[in-house]
Amino acid sequence: MASPEDFQEGKVVLIDKPLTWSSFQAVNKVKWALKKHLNLKKIKVGHAGTLDPLATGLLIVCTGKFTKRIMELQGMPKEYTGTFMLGGTTPSFDLETEVNTIFPTEHITEALIHDTLPQFLGEIDQQPPVFSAIKKDGKRLYEHARAGEEVEIAFRKTTIHEFEITRIALPEIDFRVVCSKGTYIRSLASDFGKALNSGAHLTVLRRTKIGEFSVEDAISPQAFEDEVTVSA
């Protein structure tokens, strides 16, 4: 484990964010551990790219002077794995909200799934979910959504570098995707369902890579605190 001075000079800490934790909670756990166990009363800590509470996986946490690198790290391509559930949609495009519309799936075959996939490769237009943190008229979109307010959400350009189906067990589809900054996998799930003349929502999401950083080299927030405690 690095010394207190190392963390002040700048370290990149790879955290495997647990399910239901917010990115803010994970960063706070790292910061609290550094303050308590290494006596770092003033230490800058930030993350390079939010993960939703219902997602797990790689969260890059920067300390000290390395917080200046956050924008650079955020711009790197990201890899995700997960599961789409076909046949139903939710307002949030994931499990944050209940299924509100059911669609037919009897016509969906493995061949149709694989034939549909190429239209999502390269630069695509994507509409962010209404349950997202993007600001509109001074409020987060999810605040509008929870208040029952309808808002117009502009489409954005995003790039899907790689997209593959890794398992088909209808109505579930497992996938791996490599994409640019600003891509919403929840929106990808919704759009993929529409392209199949059905509906879909995201049930599992795990971020596995950011640039050359891999979740295989990451540790849990608790494991980080344990390491800091031992080195203190």
Query: Annotated active-site positions, please?
Result: 52
| CB-CB contact of 84 with 201 (8 Å) | yes
- The string over 21-40, giving b where at least 16 C-beta atoms fall within 10 Å of a residue's C-beta and e elsewhere, is bebeebbebbbebbeebbeb
Q: Where are the beta strands (DSSP E) in the chain?
A: 11-17, 45-47, 56-63, 78-86, 88-89, 101-102, 122-126, 135-136, 139-140, 156-169, 172-179, 200-210, 213-214
* HEC readout, 66-94: HHHHHHHHHCCCEEEEEEEEECEECCCCC
Give the residue among 77, 44, 58 at the shortest CA–CA distance from 16.
Answer: 58
| CB-CB contact of 79 with 211 (8 Å) | no
Helix (H) / strand (E) containing 188:
helix 185-195
CA dihedral 134, 159, 99, 145 (to 10 degrees): 10
